[in-house]
Structure 1
Amino acid sequence: MSDLERRYLRLLRAYPADYRRSRGAEIVGTYLDLAGQGQRWPSPADAADLLRGGLRQRLRAAGAADLIPGVRLAALFAFPAATAVAGTWATAETAAPTVDWVAFGPFATVGVACWIAWLLAATVAAVAPVRWARVAVGLALAVTVAVVPVGAIADLPRPPLFVLLPQMVLGLLALALPPDGGWWLRLPPLAVAAAAVAATAHELGDWSYRWGDPGTALTTSAPAVLVVAMLVAVALVLGGDRRGLWSMLLLIAPVGLLALRPLDFLTGKVLGWNPQDSVTFAVTAGWVVALNLTVLWLALAAGRKRAYRPTIALPAPHTCPTCGGTGR
């Protein structure tokens, strides 16, 4: 056995054991036939293809074949939600009063970098192929994550974590944008961002992160995302398509994190802790994510139970040696 074959067999472990036994030799043989002369390692494209195929087969075996399409559908909700948040806070950054702690000229915090990155991602999605949109989303997500350590190291003001955390989760979902889609799927992120900029500029005045309630815009956007997802889910389920259910389940965490401010007060009231404290925020975010993971696990368990259909072996028929008739 060559090193290349051995490495393909290791990648094949992504598939369920039954599938490997029935189709493993055929799959590896196909990849070996297509390999270049002297090739010793699977190409990145082959490795990704095997891992995707293994995940798809495992989900099918668990009765969750619609999960990956559901993730892609959730991405179509998550990306516009992320750009709407970015449009809101990018406008809020520019409306900061002139005070000593302003980070960059007219901007309130270093968070303006991530909001601009998200608006650029919306623009790229509208005019470029999906692969470039994913790259732009990945860069915007990286900038959003980097805002936290940069703010701490440079001692610069940054957006609150309850503003950045839901944006990170929405960004993770947005990375799963479907590989194909017409303009009616490409334009919503940019259109929603433009609408958020216009609405915020009209209502904001001289308000910024440090003035008023910075959770208001996020709290109002949370039910909007959920309502749209629920309507699509109901429409799809009525048509026999379960993608909508998976997308709604996947959106529990981002919607809950968008509403983190009021949920934090609820946690504080139940536990008798001080709302807006960092520990209370962490506990609230933790139970929101745990709730989402639990619901997904229950849905997968239910799908696995549905997929398992034990067969009942019937007794072999008895053949009469004289007439050839059969009986039970």
Structure 2
Amino acid sequence: MRDLERRYQKLLWAYPAGYRQARGAEIVCTYLDLAGPDRRWPSILDVTDVLAGGVRERLRAAGAADLLPGVRLAAVLSFLTATALAGFWAAAEVVTTSDTWGAPSFGPFATTGIVVWACWLLAAVVHVVAPARVHVAIGLALSITAAVVSVAALFDLPRPYLFVLVPQASLGILALAIRPYTARRHRLMPLATASAAALIAVGVLSGRSTWFYRFSYGAAFLPEASAALLLTAMLTAAVLSLRGDARGLWALLVLFTPVGLLALYPLTENIAPAVGAGYADFRVITATAAIIFLLGGTTLAVALTIRVRSSAAANTPALPVHEPCPNCGK
């Protein structure tokens, strides 16, 4: 047995045992046929594909097959929000100006955030013109979002606050589940929302100082984005539920974490006095973010457990009812 074949077979443990026995050999042969003659390890795309297929089959076997469509719906809403924020902040990087206090800047831009937002806008363009590459573009944007923190610290450059980078990263991670091949008019929506958000930023922030812009990162606009995302998800869930479609409810549960992270600034400002802190310092911010992740994950896990148990109960054959004998009564 070749090393590559053995490694593909190990990946198949992502699938339920019954599915592995029935389709395992077929799946491995398919991947081997598509692999190059010199390949010794499965590619990252193949590993992702196998793991995603395994999760999908396990959810189907557990009676929660509609979770993945809900995640894809949440990915669409996340990508729309991420690109809208990128359009807003990219315009803000350009239209705000340094004031007499000598606010630090990044060349003609307010901060190094312009690189981050440009990558997210590039992902929106790639989604339209080359949908097969959209996940690569989102991955690049996520990498730049994470890297800007260390790069800015290394070269002493201004950067966006973590209040905005952390929720942007959470939206991007969820956006990786987006389906690349959809109708062109649907793929145009992130680019359209980004353009509209950029026009709003020009109207709101034009002529403002860079200090105001940097402060407004967490204080002024992200809570509104959080509320808009939450209301959109709730409305979508309500409309789909009326049609007997549970995708919207799953999408709402999945979006709880990014919604909470978008509201991280006001949450920490209210929590800090309650825990005896004078202001929202790094410990308060970190603890609040951790609680948001914990609550979001716990809520989704509880909902999934309830769904699995209800499906199992529905599929359990009912015990035969013993009818008493009409003669002896036993």
TM-score normalised over the length of structure 2? 0.85
Query: Quick check: 1:218 aligned with 2:222?
Result: yes
2:103–2:211 CA contact under 8 A, matched in 1: no
Would the alpha carbon gap of residues 275 and 119 (structure 1) be closer, same or farther in structure 2, given more than 3 Å must change? same
**Equivalent residue, structure 1, for 2:166:** 165
**Equivalent residue, structure 1, for 2:65:** 65
Would the alpha carbon gap of residues 2 and 121 (structure 1) be closer, same or farther in structure 2, given more than 3 Å must change? closer
RMSD of aligned residue pairs (Cα, Å): 2.7
**Equivalent residue, structure 2, for 1:27:** 26
**Equivalent residue, structure 1, for 2:205:** 204
Would the alpha carbon gap of residues 268 and 209 (structure 1) be closer, same or farther in structure 2, given more than 3 Å must change? farther
> Cα distance, 1:174 vs. partner?
1.3
Q: Which one has a bigger Cα radius of gyration?
A: 1
Matched residue count: 314
Residues 57-136 of structure 1 aligned to structure 2 (within 5 Å)? 57-94=57-94, 95-98=96-99, 100-126=102-128, 128-136=129-137
> Cα distance, 1:74 vs. partner?
0.8
Deviations 1:198-229 (A, max 9, x none): 11111113335522543211111111111111
Would the alpha carbon gap of residues 2 and 28 (structure 1) be closer, same or farther in structure 2, given more than 3 Å must change? farther
1:63–1:303 CA contact under 8 A, matched in 2: yes
Q: What is the CA–CA distance in structure 2 between the aligned matches of 1:32 and 1:163, rounded to whole Å?
A: 40
1:83–1:119 CA contact under 8 A, matched in 2: yes
Query: Quick check: 1:277 aligned with 2:281?
Result: yes
Query: Quick check: 1:265 aligned with 2:269?
Result: yes
* Structure number having the greater helix percentage: 2
Q: What is the CA–CA distance in structure 1 between the aligned matches of 2:164 and 2:65, rounded to whole Å?
A: 33
Deviations 1:236-274 (A, max 9, x none): 122121111111111111111111111112222432323
Q: What is the CA–CA distance in structure 1 between the aligned matches of 2:144 and 2:39, rounded to whole Å?
A: 36
Q: What is the CA–CA distance in structure 2 between the aligned matches of 1:166 and 1:46, rounded to whole Å?
A: 29
Percent of aligned pairs with the same amino acid: 44
**Equivalent residue, structure 2, for 1:322:** none
**Equivalent residue, structure 2, for 1:318:** none
**Equivalent residue, structure 2, for 1:15:** 15
Deviations 1:94-147 (A, max 9, x none): 213156443322212111110111122222223x13222222222111111111
Higher alpha-carbon deviation: 298-307 or 28-37:
28-37
- AA aligned to 2:76 is L
Q: What is the CA–CA distance in structure 2 between the aligned matches of 1:287 and 1:152, rounded to whole Å?
A: 27
1:221–1:258 CA contact under 8 A, matched in 2: yes
> Cα distance, 1:151 vs. partner?
0.8
Deviations 1:58-106 (A, max 9, x none): 1112332112211111111111111111122122222131564433222
Helix, strand or coil: the match of 2:266?
A: helix
> Cα distance, 1:185 vs. partner?
1.5
Deviations 1:3-51 (A, max 9, x none): 5553333122111234334x15553575488478978857536544432
Query: Quick check: 1:54 aligned with 2:54?
Result: yes
Q: What is the CA–CA distance in structure 2 between the aligned matches of 1:119 and 1:56, rounded to whole Å?
A: 30
Gaps of 5+ in 1: 316-327
Q: What is the CA–CA distance in structure 1 between the aligned matches of 2:126 and 2:275, rounded to whole Å?
A: 45
Q: What is the CA–CA distance in structure 2 between the aligned matches of 1:217 and 1:307, rounded to whole Å?
A: 42
Would the alpha carbon gap of residues 312 and 276 (structure 1) be closer, same or farther in structure 2, given more than 3 Å must change? same
2:8–2:28 CA contact under 8 A, matched in 1: no
Q: What is the CA–CA distance in structure 2 between the aligned matches of 1:50 and 1:268, rounded to whole Å?
A: 44
2:81–2:171 CA contact under 8 A, matched in 1: yes
Q: What is the CA–CA distance in structure 1 between the aligned matches of 2:88 and 2:32, rounded to whole Å?
A: 53
Query: Quick check: 1:153 aligned with 2:159?
Result: no
Q: What is the CA–CA distance in structure 2 between the aligned matches of 1:202 and 1:156, rounded to whole Å?
A: 27
Q: What is the CA–CA distance in structure 2 between the aligned matches of 1:106 and 1:204, rounded to whole Å?
A: 16
TM-score normalised over the length of structure 1? 0.86
1:63–1:300 CA contact under 8 A, matched in 2: no
Residue of 247, 250, 253 corresponding to 1:246? 250
Would the alpha carbon gap of residues 198 and 19 (structure 1) be closer, same or farther in structure 2, given more than 3 Å must change? same
